[in-house]
Amino acid sequence: MRFLDASAISGSPGAWTAEIQEGWDIFGVSNGGYLMAVATRAMQAEADGRTLISSTGHYLNPTNAGPVSIEVATLKQGRTMSTLRARMSRGDRQLLTATAVYADPTRPKFEKDLVGGDPPILPPPDECVPAEPSDTAPLPPPFTGKVDLRIHPDDAKALVGEKTGHPVMRGWFRLKDDEPLDAHALVLASDAFPPAIFNSTLPVGWTPTLDLTVQVRDPAPKGWLACRFSTRFVTGGMLEEDGEIWDERERPVALSRQLALVPR
């Protein structure tokens, strides 16, 4: 099933529904980026043609495949930008609440860019390690079979327990069957890779997400996406993971930050 179909919504303004699909999960728990992409599609439907530039989701309860309802409200509609809120639930159980900013694509933009970084140095996709669901090991999870994910050979060693000691995860991302990328696919990509902390020397095996923020710098990325995710601080029982996503033009198309628990 294409990502566009797996994240489809139906309904009417204010009250949308979606079917969370089988397989878009991490061992039975639906992937956080996938859930937020469903929510951003619902908000997009009420954004009057404006495009997603930032979204933050707070995960209230884990969920799995099945129907969900999404309540959308416009918090502010300005001259060039709108802020919306989505609440995803199943019955009385709240699953996710998200806020997002959508902007008029024709708004005046600053003429100069400042890019103070470089895309990750990666071997070509064919020389990276495909992340495909494993029948005999805990990693990679089922979700990886829904996208085309290629992990840097050094970082992929974490999948078989050979940690590099550096909490970094790099690789390539695209949708299967040359499905076009959009802003919602960037939300998906921000949570598609194994956690960077898996490459640390800490005994971490589960990192449930508390919140995820994705900033979209280009809603129409091109080609393979070069991705780098890293963690610098594991304190107070929590960790952050910062992400950079670049497209084939070597332009940053999305930035992300995720806050996750480190269970005892």
Model pLDDT, residue 133: 81
| CATH number of this structure's domain 3-106+124-261, picked from the four choices 3.30.70.100, 3.40.50.300, 2.40.160.210, 2.40.10.10 | 2.40.160.210
Identify the helix (H) or strand (E) that includes residue 34.
helix 32-44
Mean pLDDT of 96-101: 98
Cis status, amide bond into 140, omega within 30 of 0: yes
How confident is the model over 201-238, as pLDDT tens digits?
A: 888 777 899 999 999 999 999 999 999 999 999 999 99
The segment with the largest mean pLDDT, out of 58-72, 102-116, 194-208, is 58-72
For 6-11, what is the mean pLDDT? 97
What pLDDT shows up at residue 44? 97
Among 68, 72, 66, 58, residue whose Cα is nearest residue 24: 66
pLDDT mean over 248-257 = 95
Average per-residue pLDDT in the chain? 93
Distances (CA, A) of 3 to 9, 152, 203: 12, 24, 33
Task: Write down the pLDDT at residue 53.
Answer: 97
Task: For residues 183-199, give the mean pLDDT.
Answer: 95
Average pLDDT over residues 232-245: 95
So what's the pLDDT on residue 244?
Answer: 98
pLDDT of 110 strictly over 80: no
Higher per-residue confidence, 139 vs 36: 36
pLDDT surpasses 60 at 137: no
The model's pTM: 0.94
For residue 38, the surrounding DSSP H or E stretch is helix 32-44
Give the percent of the chain with pLDDT over 90: 81
